[in-house]
Amino acid sequence: MPRYTMRKQILSVGGDYDVLDENGEVAFEVDGRVRFASTFVIKDRDGNEVAAGREKLFTLETGVHLQRAGQPLAIVRKVFVTPAKLLVSVEKIKFVVDVNDGVTLEAHGTFYEDDYKLLRGTAQVATVKQLWEGMRESYEIVIAPGEDDALVLAIAAAIIKLVPAPNVGEP
């Protein structure tokens, strides 16, 4: 099973991450960009773009559009489980990923604690778990064999963008 560590770069303005393989070598880079909309580009170790994401703005539905080579790849949407959207607690959300090949994936877990599973029906595609490495934001991403690593990393980056950090110090 491919296992990656997505680690935020120390001097990051737009949400840049290095994605390290099991040997601790940089396999991918997430280049977060600060623009009018939240965007990111994922590059492989040779600098080739393998996926990109752009947050949907001015819609009732919160989501990120993913692309590969300029072509639509998937849409990651935040879905509220209860109809009372104003009273939703943290545990009442999930993410649905509509992949352009007709497959639907779902992410379930505790998103504000960054511990969730990506599922295709009942089959587990990947797990994402936050690691505690000092002050640096890091995630362990384990991907099932035969899955599209770049797509899974793009989905994880999109969910990181869509789940704001909890407010520290509030009751």
Q: DSSP letters along 19-79, please?
A: EE-TTS-EEEEEEEEESSSEEEEEEETTS-EEEEEEE--SSSS-EEEEEETTEEEEEEEEE
The whole-model pTM stands at: 0.84
Task: Count CB neighbours of 57 within 10 A.
Answer: 9
CATH architecture of 3-162: Alpha-Beta Barrel (3.20)
Percent of the chain with pLDDT over 70: 79
Quickly tell me which residue has 């991918």 as its tokens: 28
Angstrom distance (rounded) from CA 97 to CA 75 = 6
pLDDT at 143 over 70: yes
Q: What is the mean pLDDT of the chain?
A: 83
SS3 (DSSP) at 164: coil
pLDDT digits (tens, 9 = 90+) for 68-84: 999 999 999 988 766 55
* Pairing verdict, β 63-68 and 49-55: antiparallel
What are the tens digits of pLDDT across the range 82-94? 655 445 444 456 8
Segment 119-132, tens digit of pLDDT: 999 999 999 998 87
What is the reported pLDDT for 39? 86
Q: 107 falls in which pLDDT band (50, 70, 90)?
A: very high
